[in-house]
């Protein structure tokens, strides 16, 4: 079943077409990837989906309801929840208190088929249980990224939008966040994940959207994306020969 439909979504900032006539669907239970160069419009697209900014034109249909003009809190109550590229946790609250705040803003009805996660379950799923009483500003970067995911997860999403939760992490931390995203998916939550860490993202997804200058350049199988000349040219690049390899 289709969970989200985006039709002709457009956002113009003064002279900049940040998102230009973008259309796609997300199926229930899918993990969909979103990639593209810096400034391609990924964060703007997320802000449009979560309602942080209004579109210039176009339509967003979530669970068969047109939510294009809904305020962010109303979408969140419905189960359309995002993380922010810049972590937004309250620095002086503990990790657990921050997760409780997320839960307060969350869905006002049980998710389809499954009960919402408790605060303890959220802390366990995001590997934060042993840091529950730490203040959030005492966490490492990886911990702050996981808290950003935890706060959103506590809001009981049907569709969770993750904006660069892997940026700046080392290989061990990347494996951990990939595992956490798998656990969230196993709870029946649909995900749209944007990342520059393509190697880790591609372990999670079958289908990818590629944005370039606000336009949807590609929508399809990840393996096909890495062979697509326009995608390679705009973003993925060609594999460089190893240093010292014969020319």
Q: Give the separation between CA 121 and CA 220, rounded to whole angstroms.
A: 33
Q: How many CB atoms lie within 10 A of CB 182?
A: 12
Q: Which of residues 197-236 bind Mg ion (CB under 5 A)?
A: none
Interface with ligand ATP (CB under 6 A), residue total 12
Q: Which of residues 68-87 bind ligand ATP (CB under 6 A)?
A: 85
* In the complex, minimum distance from the CB of residue 16 to ligand ATP, in angstroms, rounded to a whole number: 5
* In the complex, minimum distance from the CB of residue 84 to Mg ion, in angstroms, rounded to a whole number: 10
Nearer to ligand ATP, 52 or 129 (CB): 52
180 contacts 146 by C-beta, under 8 angstroms = yes
Q: Which of residues 32-61 bind ligand ATP (CB under 6 A)?
A: 36, 38-44
Q: Give the separation between CA 202 and CA 33, rounded to whole angstroms.
A: 8
Task: Say which entry of Mg ion, ligand ATP, none residue 39 contacts (CB below 5 to 8 A, set by partner kind).
Answer: ligand ATP
Q: How far apart are the first and last CA of the chain?
A: 50
58 contacts 69 by C-beta, under 8 angstroms = no
Q: Give the separation between CA 62 and CA 5, rounded to whole angstroms.
A: 7
Stretch that binds Mg ion, among 84-92, 128-136, 140-148, 206-214 (CB under 5 A): 84-92
Q: Give the separation between CA 188 and CA 29, rounded to whole angstroms.
A: 6
Identify the residue among 19, 40, 43, 102 touching Mg ion (CB under 5 A). Answer: 43
* In the complex, minimum distance from the CB of residue 35 to Mg ion, in angstroms, rounded to a whole number: 11
Chain residue at closest Cβ approach to Mg ion: 43
β-pairing verdict for 65-66 and 57-62: antiparallel
Identify the residue among 5, 10, 16, 215 touching ligand ATP (CB under 6 A). Answer: 16
Stretch that binds ligand ATP, among 13-21, 55-63, 90-98, 174-182 (CB under 6 A): 13-21
For residue 141, give the 3-state DSSP assignment. helix
* In the complex, minimum distance from the CB of residue 98 to ligand ATP, in angstroms, rounded to a whole number: 23
Nearest partner of 165 among 63, 83, 247, judged by Cα = 83
* In the complex, minimum distance from the CB of residue 196 to ligand ATP, in angstroms, rounded to a whole number: 6
* In the complex, minimum distance from the CB of residue 231 to ligand ATP, in angstroms, rounded to a whole number: 15
Q: Give the separation between CA 121 and CA 154, rounded to whole angstroms.
A: 9
Long-range residue pairs from 221-225, CB within 8 A, at least 24 positions apart, any chain: 222/33
Nearer to ligand ATP, 95 or 225 (CB): 225
89 contacts 150 by C-beta, under 8 angstroms = no
Question: Where do contacts with Mg ion occur on this chain (CB under 5 A)?
Answer: 42-43, 85
Question: Where do contacts with ligand ATP occur on this chain (CB under 6 A)?
Answer: 13, 16, 18, 36, 38-44, 85
């Amino acid at each position: 079943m289709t969970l989200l439909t985006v039709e002709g979504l457009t956002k113009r900032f003064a002279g900049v077409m940040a998102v230009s006539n973008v259309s796609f669907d997300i199926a229930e239970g899918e993990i969909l990837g979103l990639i593209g160069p810096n400034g391609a419009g990924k964060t703007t697209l997320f802000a449009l989906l979560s309602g942080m900014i209004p579109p210039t034109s176009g339509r967003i249909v979530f669970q068969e309801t047109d939510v294009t003009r809904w305020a962010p809190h109303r979408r969140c109550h419905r189960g359309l929840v995002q993380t922010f590229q810049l972590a937004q946790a309250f620095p002086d609250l503990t990790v657990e208190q921050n997760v409780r705040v997320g839960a307060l803003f969350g869905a006002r009805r049980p998710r389809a088929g499954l009960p919402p996660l408790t605060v303890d379950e959220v802390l366990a799923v995001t590997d934060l249980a042993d840091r529950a009483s730490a203040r959030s500003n005492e966490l490492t970067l990886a911990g702050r990224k996981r808290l950003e995911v935890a706060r959103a997860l506590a809001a009981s999403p049907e569709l969770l939008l993750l904006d660069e939760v892997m940026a700046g992490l080392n290989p061990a931390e990347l494996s951990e966040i990939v595992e956490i995203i798998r656990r969230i998916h196993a709870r029946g939550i649909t995900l749209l994940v944007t990342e520059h860490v393509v190697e880790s993202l591609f372990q999670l997804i079958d289908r990818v959207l590629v944005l370039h200058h606000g336009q949807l350049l590609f929508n399809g199988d990840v393996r096909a994306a890495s062979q697509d000349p326009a995608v390679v040219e705009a973003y993925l690049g060609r594999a460089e020969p190893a240093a010292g390899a014969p020319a």
